Amino acid sequence: MTLTSVSRPAALYSYSFAPFYTSKSLYPSGPDFVKYLVDVAAKYQLEDKIQLNTDVSKLSWLDAEALWEITVDHLVPGTGDLSAVDRKTRTEVLGERSIYVSSEKFRAKVVVSCAGILVEPNDWPPDIPGRDVFRGEIFHSARWREDVNFKDKDVVVVGTGCSAAQVVPSLFEEPYEARSVTQLMRTPPWVMPRLEEPFGKANYARYAPTVLHYLPFLGYMYRISLYILVEIIWLTVFQQKNQKWRSKLESTTLARTYSLIPKEYHDMMTPKYSYGCKRRIFDNLWLQSMHRSNFLLTAQPMIRIEPNSIVLGSPPSPSRASTSTSTNIKANISGKIKEDCLPASIIVLANGFSATRFLHPLTVYGRSNISLHDVWRDRGAPQAYMGTAVHGFPNFFMLTGPNTANGHSSLITSSENTAGYIGRIIRPILSGEATVVEVKLDAETKWTQDVQSELQGTVFQNGGCRSWYQDADGVNSTMYP
């Protein structure tokens, strides 16, 4: 069974010049989507232009030559997917050669960063002790361990975001077959149903790929319909002023959630913030899986882990007292804090990413050897003109820079549009008509001010929640309004 799938329909989550209409399901599996990307690279002869097992560690602007000096580290095969924290840990234990083979420097007229937003997984929460004594495996869902045996194990999943909602139902099925799954939740999400395949999944998988291969205009019509739908939702539900529209959607969404989950979870699964403030979950399996006798959802905070268990503290509200009725829980009292101890063989972290740390851990030095991260710190938060260019860093552009993500449509589409925009900007440099292209500071500042002003009118910024869209100071450098 495939663990995860794409959270957007393939017709929407694919390139306009290479639409993915022939998937066997509306939401292709992870492996199927990877195959689609590989096929696109092969079709446009990009394979020999992609260098794997290579980490770009530093960019330095050479003003006299009007060139960028790029420092890359060649990695041991298989280590490229490790997070920055995991690489550091491994080098401390096994030495530099366990990760790095060699370093190299070269120069280029233009640098375009295609580093994504959800790249660096959040590490183990530093305020929770016991990781060093835990006898089982701990890993992030974004760095899945296929070598770990889940069969008849007690699994703890930390988080209730999009990844967790896909992971949990899969853990009960082959090849995982966990003995029990405990899911730790901090904030309940809004859960929407996925679109269902017309004529059923089996018939769609059997006939749709062939039909859409020979009649691609049907796929195009579906793609356009999806775009119109999500834009209507954006103009109505995601705007803070449209409380009436949003309230109706919230009511129907909650009613569906209540109809699919055990009654004991109703209070816990009721969001106390506006629809769309946090990233929504589109799923048809997670809510139903809560009825399993070997599943437990709890809002109790994890306070420490022990060799074969996790210890939870007092629930955030009396409404979650029902968690203590589980036969898997042994309650004890430590002072005034109630503690519940649950068995744990494996801990899966689905606790998100360092989304607001753009380009981390890459270092970029522009004019006068000024660090881009220092510039962003001085300006209060990451910012870039059109989400792509920063004053003081000529000929440097970002594909998914600050305020380029959206909460309703396809990031692939926005990235494709940005790539076209960057292509037009750098054309004079490549043709020799210009040496340097650099955005003016006042243009960048005005763009940022306008974006932040418009964000105030959306649920992203004023929907009554704190999300990974915002940094510790509440500044939203992630979403585009």
Which pLDDT tens digits describe the chain residue by residue (481 residues)? 456 778 889 999 999 999 999 999 999 988 899 999 999 999 999 999 999 999 999 999 999 999 999 999 999 998 988 888 889 889 999 999 999 999 999 999 999 999 988 888 998 988 999 999 999 999 999 999 999 999 999 999 999 999 999 999 999 999 999 999 999 999 999 999 999 999 999 999 999 999 999 999 999 999 999 999 999 999 989 999 999 999 999 999 999 999 999 999 999 999 999 999 999 999 999 999 999 999 999 999 999 999 999 999 987 654 433 333 333 433 343 445 678 999 999 999 999 998 888 998 899 999 999 999 999 999 999 999 999 999 999 999 999 999 999 888 888 999 999 999 999 999 999 999 999 999 999 999 999 999 999 999 999 999 999 999 999 889 999 999 8
**Using CA atoms, how far apart are residues 351 and 245, in angstroms rounded to an integer?**
31
Report residue 86: phi and psi, to 5°: -65, -40
pTM of the model: 0.90
Cα 268 → chain centroid: 24
Output the six-digit token pair for 214: 């020979």
DSSP 90-122: HHHHH-GGGTEEEEEEEEES-EEE---SS-SB-
Read off the tokens for 333. 């009292």
Yes or no: say if 403 and 480 are a contact pair by the CB < 8 Å rule. yes
Return d(Cα 276, Cα 274) in angstroms, integer: 6
Q: Where are the alpha helices (DSSP H) in 141-276?
A: 162-171, 201-214, 216-236, 243-260
DSSP element (H, E) containing 271: none
**Number of other residues whose CB lies within 10 A of the CB of residue 390:** 25
